[in-house]
Amino acid sequence: MRGGAGSDEYLIQAGSGETVIDLDGDEKSTDTLRFGAGIGLSDIRLEKSGYDLIIRVGESGQSVKLADWYYVNADRRVDVFAFADGRSLSWQELLAQKAVTLATEGGQLDGNEGVDDVLRGSTVAKAGSTETLRGLGGGDRLYAGLSSTASLYGGRDDDQLFTNAAATKSYLYGEEGDDLLVNQSGSAATTQMRGGAGSDEYLIQAGSGETVIDLDGDEKSTDTLRFGEGIGLSDISLEKSGYDLIIRVGEGGQSVKLADWYYVHADRRVDVFAFADGRSLSWQELLAQKAVSLAMEGGQLDGNEGVDDVLRGSTVAKAGSTETLRGLGGRDRLYAGLSSTASLYGGRDDDQLFTNAAATKSYLYGEEGDDLLVNQSGSAATTRMRGGAGSDEYLIQAGSGETVIDLDGDEKSTDTLRFGEGIGLSDISLEKSGYDLIIRVGEGGQSVKLADWYYVHADRRVDVFAFADGRSLSWQELLAQKAVTLAMEGGQLDGNEGVDDVLRGSTVAKAGSTETLRGLGGRDRLYAGLSQTASLYGGRDDDQLFTNAAATKSYLYGEEGDDLLVNQSGSAATTRMRGGAGSDEYLIQAGSGETVIELDGDEKSTDTLRFGEGIGLSDISLEKSGYDLIIRIGESGQSVKLEYWYYPSYADRRVDVFAFADGKSLSWQELLAQKAVSAANGGYLQGNEGLGDILSGGSKSTVLTGGSGADVFLFRDALDETNNVDRITDFKPGEDKLHLSRSVFTALSEAGPLADSLFVANATGSALDDRDCILYNTTTGALLYDPDGTGAGAAIQFARLDSRPELKASDFFVVK
């Protein structure tokens, strides 16, 4: 049919076979295609074949072909489509109500400018076929057909674009307007979407394979990614791959790739994520609720400024791989992945950073804010942590290998080191290594190194140490309860001002090693270690200092305060002690070698020398050597030297009390009244003014001066007229006594006062009968011992009294 010039009408009766109309209208005429009785709008369907528009009528095969509809100018088209029921539509209205289908193997189907077209892709399925639908202007609806590859372009205005389950590849481009792009393809399909200008919506149906969305939003539009029925927030997971954000849907392999999410400006991103249950989240809210994982072998994953991101490291394990997670601004949670080395940076605000058991090296940097840094790595891992500015918490889980914390606190913040389940105060031990404080956890090799603890200012240290049982200690309280050990070959270990430190010397024994422990301020306890030479300084306050059996030389200096200095070293050791200011106590344990005490008491303090278990008053003997008083303990060679005891101006500096394990306690005056002092190498031995001294010349000739007071001069060493004749300068008869030991003067069988019959005094010092054993020469003042009196044996001189006093037997006393 061809109507020709004028306003023509084509009437198509039902059952009239195939009709072909050659379009020849113009802008001045109105051509009408009228369908006869029995043919309504619902009975027809539209197809494009080549350039022709085919109208199929029912299922009988009747059709009307509008030839070259897609080639001729719109003025030449049929203007009106009329039906027997009186309905009449312009061609634009018809195309808005009836879909046009592409009735070829692929091809192109275009809509019409200004028409709300409904376009459907190919009805013919053929492998490798390609179709293109273009809505052009108008609020169009485009449905992909059965072609293998379908490209849909919405054009201007608000369009709707739909994939088809038959396609393996689909491309949906909304172009201008607020468009709806729907992926309802099959699970094996790949669909690329770009909304274009306007506020677009991407609808992803369950099971629709892989979707790739090209981000092209702007600050004026709101783009929405909507998930269809059966896809909730709990069904998705997020990954970063390259610059893309991947949304995984369930376990079936379905995914949505937001291309270049990590490259484009935030304004271009999808703004809203909506779910079938009505839940709707901004992208910021989504990233705060769902973790993003790094879906590659290492790499970098950044959060977003102002977003509370949840970031997870690599899901791919590869030897030598490295990953970096950066929270940036926002209260972020960062979880290291399976990479060998992981670096986590919290950024601004309060963040949480977690290691992974797979990593061999982890670096956790909280940066700004009050951050939580958690080490839950494996036993072979090394983790370095730095909280950064703010009040940070370091959580150390059991079995997490070696942790190194870089101290960076300040006076305004409170940093906490928290130990996880299974780690109590009793499970840790403390060591100093270099400038670091090492916390050992159990016996499994786990440790926490507080780097430069002994170098940085105290404000930078961890403030609180917390344990799983709820116990919480300041660092000062921790160091008062747990000893710090010097974990190296000698070196120096200092306590802290105002802290009751417990310090232990080196755990490493090495010939020639030297260690120094300094308590500084606080009531400190210092224990020498395994170094050969140990120097301990208590510092201020009341301290306790202890030697170690391993040391050959020890120096204990209490300094200020009422200090306790304990010598428990070995028998071959030499220990020098000085209590310093205050009332100090020196405790000497049995078998502790040679002790030298530097006397530094004063009239306001009371210093005590205490002997440990097994050392009683009867076990000690006293000697004078030079200016020193030597206390000998038993026969083992153990001794205590009280240095400068006899120096003229040192009386106030002497030890005040001598105490023994049996509870006996004597002033030094009482001690010297009960225990004889011998001259170690002869010379001169003087007692104390006003004190009843017991003086013994020892085994060498000695000058003895008792001074004021009732003194005792004791003779208990082997007699030797050549080398052991003592000289007494100030003996006072009736006040002083001469004690003779039966072990030397064997003829004196009875202990007690000397019998008159055993003593004789005359100008020659000669015995008058065989009972005269003790002879006194009144001319020279010589004292002699003659065991058989007038017998054949010769008398032996053992002393001389300078003042040649008048002696009587009552001036003598026989002792054991």
pLDDT in tens, 406-448: 999 888 999 999 999 999 999 999 999 989 999 999 999 999 9
Task: Say yes or no: 166 and 267 in one domain.
Answer: yes
* Domain assignment present for 517: yes
* Domain assignment present for 316: no
Q: What is the mean pLDDT of residues 565-573?
A: 95
From 775, 800, 778, 779, select the one nearest 788 (Cα to Cα).
775
Q: What is the mean pLDDT of residues 61-86?
A: 96
**Residues 796-811: pLDDT tens digits?**
999 999 999 999 999 9
Token look-up 């913040």 returns 413
* Domain assignment present for 314: no
Give the angle 551-629-680 at the CA atoms, nearest 5°: 100
Confidence band (pLDDT; 50, 70, 90) for 751? very high
The two three-digit tokens of residue 754, written as one number? 């000397």
Confidence band (pLDDT; 50, 70, 90) for 722? very high
Task: Say yes or no: 471 and 537 in one domain.
Answer: no
Token look-up 């961890």 returns 462
pLDDT of residue 177: 97
The answer, yes or no, to whether residue 550 has pLDDT greater than 90, is no
Domains contained in the chain, number: 5
* Domain assignment present for 235: yes
Q: In what order do the strands lie in the sheet with 782-785?
A: 683-686, 702-705, 726-728, 796-801, 782-785, 774-777, 759-762
* Domain assignment present for 138: yes
Sheet strands (E) in 136-274: 141-143, 149-153, 160-162, 169-173, 180-183, 190-194, 201-204, 210-214, 224-227, 236-241, 244-249, 254-259, 272-274
The answer, yes or no, to whether residue 690 has pLDDT greater than 90, is no
pLDDT of residue 649: 84
The answer, yes or no, to whether residue 298 has pLDDT greater than 90, is no
Task: Say yes or no: 335 and 278 in one domain.
Answer: no
Q: What is the mean pLDDT of residues 776-794?
A: 97
347/350 Cα distance (integer angstroms): 8
pLDDT of residue 224: 98
* Domain assignment present for 683: no
8-state DSSP, 291: P
- Give the distance from CA 621 to its chain's centroid: 56
pLDDT of residue 40: 97
* Domain assignment present for 304: no
Neighbours of 620 (CB within 10 A): 20
The amino acid sitting at 85 is: D
Q: What is the mean pLDDT of residues 584-598?
A: 97
Residues 6+ apart with CB under 8 A from 714: 676, 694, 695, 696, 739, 741, 815
Q: Which of 64, 96, 128 is the last residue of a domain?
A: 96
The answer, yes or no, to whether residue 295 has pLDDT greater than 90, is no
Task: Say yes or no: 536 and 421 in one domain.
Answer: no
Task: Say yes or no: 277 and 184 in one domain.
Answer: yes
287/281 Cα distance (integer angstroms): 9
**Residues 33-63: pLDDT tens digits?**
999 999 999 999 999 999 999 999 999 999 9
* Domain assignment present for 687: no
Task: Say yes or no: 162 and 275 in one domain.
Answer: yes
**Residues 246-286: pLDDT tens digits?**
999 999 999 999 999 999 998 999 999 999 999 999 999 99
**CB 806 within 8 Å of CB 733:** yes
Which three-class secondary structure string do you get for 694-707? EEECCCCCEEEECC
Task: Say yes or no: 50 and 186 in one domain.
Answer: no
756/142 Cα distance (integer angstroms): 146
Domain hosting residue 263, numbered range: 105-290
Tell me the DSSP string of 57-68.
Answer: ETTTTEEEEEET
Task: Say yes or no: 462 and 572 in one domain.
Answer: no
490/13 Cα distance (integer angstroms): 114
Higher pLDDT: 318 or 811? It is: 811
**Residues 358-382: pLDDT tens digits?**
889 999 999 999 999 999 999 999 9
The answer, yes or no, to whether residue 681 has pLDDT greater than 90, is no
Task: Say yes or no: 345 and 254 in one domain.
Answer: no
**Residues 760-769: pLDDT tens digits?**
999 999 999 9
580/175 Cα distance (integer angstroms): 91
pLDDT of residue 341: 96
**CB 771 within 8 Å of CB 742:** no
Percent of the chain with pLDDT over 90: 88
The answer, yes or no, to whether residue 217 has pLDDT greater than 90, is no
Q: What is the mean pLDDT of residues 11-18?
A: 97
Q: What DSSP element (H or E) covers 48?
A: strand 44-49
Confidence band (pLDDT; 50, 70, 90) for 601? confident
Task: Say yes or no: 246 and 377 in one domain.
Answer: no
pLDDT of residue 481: 93
Task: Say yes or no: 126 and 62 in one domain.
Answer: no
Task: Say yes or no: 442 and 490 in one domain.
Answer: no
